[in-house]
Structure 1
Amino acid sequence: MKNLKIILSEDRVNFKKIIKTSLFIIKIEDYPKINYSYYKFFHEIDSPSRETIQVLGLPKKYEYRNIFNRI
């Protein structure tokens, strides 16, 4: 999430502009840790809609996608 914050700031966007997130994880056991991290970044605003999908494999430990509201 810290890396995502950096990427967003480079494009002058913040977490308030995210309207949907998709998270692809390999180990569902990691979900509570990921959920806590997610909460730390979105607790002060309305959380965007979110889907979390367990997959068999990924190039990295997990993949995160966002859809932004650019109004």
Structure 2
Amino acid sequence: WDTCMSPLFTRHATGHNPRGEKIQRVRQRFMHKLKYFLDKYDQGIMCVGCGRCVKSCPVNIDIREVCLTMNTFEKQE
């Protein structure tokens, strides 16, 4: 079993790891679930709003705060 939050998940066969730092993996996870999916399909996000992640996050990341911050980003072309 593997997860995108694992340090070795994105490691290439060459040994290069484009997301070697935890902050890079956290950013990718949020952007994938809340930004890239919406950009690609122009509808919805991959979050059902259950709040389990807020309760169980070991480092107290509140996805609601992340979403509010992301909504202030300018659209890049």
Relative to the length of structure 1, the TM-score reads 0.32
- Flag the structure with more relative contact order, 1 or 2, with Cα contacts below 8 A and sequence separation at least 6: 1
More strand by share: 1
Relative to the length of structure 2, the TM-score reads 0.30
Return the index of the structure with the highest Cα Rg: 2
